[in-house]
Chain A
């Protein structure tokens, strides 16, 4: 049985965020020209809360995360924007400073734990690494810390298991190891990029419960990157919905899911086979997301939007308030209810 989600008190959300990303834009050079994978993305994550970046494949959610942690492939480039964490702009600092902050201020958990762990070293060695490098601990002491950490994330018999190699662990246990490494140095911000997508649901439930308890224990801001609406509904406090490189709607999960103000959010919610009668027709979104090579002028969603009109084809809508703490990038937010 898990603890009930503790939502952060409202006033905390107004305080200084742990991570503030502003106007982040990422371009990718391809053989057929430069494409904009992330376009003017702005969001903030606060300590003690989970912010979900929600979207379908290719919407730029993972690219946003990799840009923030500084792990973009050489073909991709941040062309503008900032990511402020502890008064430092992560996108402007030099490599040395970034390495100092990696793990102590900001950490990331990837989807594929097997490729994220080094197959040639025992997990004990890998888990001890942050303590040795950042805190200058001796090997023995660092290993003791590693064992503690393994116990904390629920790995049975940590003393014996620390001498095993990553391939000797199951998928769920590997994900626990990655999470352990990420929280080792008590970072302010933890980015979790599809952390449970490769896992079975009962294991997913274990991992999400672990993340939630670590979040309160370390008072971290968690940025959860996912395509799973139900996971967002259960695990996140706020959500930013991404489409074709842009955030199209943002606000508290409860408000956005109950009463979406962007037709894409509404379309996604309609596509979930949940309340529909068995075999009933699902209201899918027609068509497919635009090719990043030919993002249309005007609204990114116009080609699939039932509300699209002339203004949508000529003018790109920006995120505008649609409530006290929510925004939508739609010219007709009031009409979304009728979609």
Chain B
């Protein structure tokens, strides 16, 4: 099947481009006993040309999930299907071919670019590994210039070094490098959090335009809820290695089902007074992933917690009003949703 046929086949089905089921990953802690549970039973779908926002606080597993999707970590359990393929079963040439399709944009545009390489060399570097693309030097040069134009830097930036660019311009180089392999998915790990507000808006605009033009999917990791709200079609909220709520962006932010989502949304400062509700101040801090709480992982900070939360893992509660919106909670915030058992 050619790329085109494959793309056509998928426009006619609703099958997600990337599908993750029951993914778990833990790390051995040096010297210590026991394991740090970084991801625990993650389910996730990403549609073609769409943006999935991943929100949660430090240590919740966002970056481990991103690294697993990049195949930089091997999951202990669970499945990843990318366009129907299990990437972790691939070897050799097939694996290399696959890696091309998922690329990454990093948080720190100062640390993620080699200051001894020119912008052009940085963007062309992925082709040294993926030799099949842009074989002739003329092709490569043309493509580098095309990419620099695409990200708004202009072809004359090709011979400059990273330190000659501002933070926002550097992030554009990072985006051009990710685009060099014509990926289907770009994982953006806090791509604008190191940038000033006015520059952040420029980079968000660029990411949006690129998505419209190239039909790329983004996994967009950010702690800034207003940014996620602006870019994401769907949002997954993570807490201590689990996705506790998942759904269309508006539904998750406007009618959160999980107490943690509600607390997170209420804690984020808002510019407009009209958008501020009553602030929910959570007690304490995130427990250690070395020894996560039994039952519901959020129960130690939850104001709705009861005995059942300590004893049993919470069921999936569906939002009856919004298709595809669900939360894992014994006591979801709106009453009219049926709880599915975990085995269902």
Contacts and interface: CB of A to CB of B under 8 A. Distances in A.
A124 interface: no
Nearest to A171: B58
B107 to A, nearest CB: 14
B285 A203 contact: yes
Contacts of B227: 273
Contacts of B57: 200-203
Range of interface residues on A (Cβ < 8 Å): 35 or more
A185 B200 CA distance: 40
B279 to A, nearest CB: 5
Given A230-B226, A233-B271, A257-B271, A268 B204 contact: no
Interface string B221-242: 0010111011111000000000
B197 interface: yes
Contact of B168 (A173, A201, A206, A288): A288
B201 A271 contact: yes
A284 B198 contact: yes
Contact of A275 (B58, B249, B272, B280): B272
Given A202-B57, A234-B269, A56 B281 contact: no
Nearest to B279: A2
Interface string A270-285: 1111111011011111
Nearest to B200: A271
A56 B272 contact: no
A228 B268 CA distance: 11
B202 interface: yes
Interface string A21-43: 00000000000000000000000
A288 B249 CA distance: 31
Contacts of A286: 202
A1 B278 contact: yes
B224 to A, nearest CB: 9
Given A173-B285, A209-B281, A230 B271 contact: yes
B218 to A, nearest CB: 11
A130 interface: no
A268 B232 CA distance: 22
A2 B208 contact: no
B196 A234 contact: no
Contact of B196 (A1, A56, A206): A56
Interface string A249-290: 000000001000000000111111111101101111110100
Interface string B275-314: 1101111101100000000000000000000000000000
Contacts of B231: 273, 278-279
Interface of B: 57-58, 166, 168, 196-202, 204-205, 208, 223, 225-227, 229-233, 249, 263-264, 266-273, 275-276, 278-282, 284-285
17 contacts: A1-B278, A1-B279, A1-B281, A57-B196, A205-B282, A206-B281, A229-B197, A233-B270, A257-B271, A267-B198, A273-B227, A273-B230, A276-B230, A278-B231, A279-B208, A288-B166, A288-B168
Q: 7 tightest A-B contacts by CB?
A: A284-B201, A273-B230, A230-B269, A200-B57, A285-B198, A205-B267, A56-B196
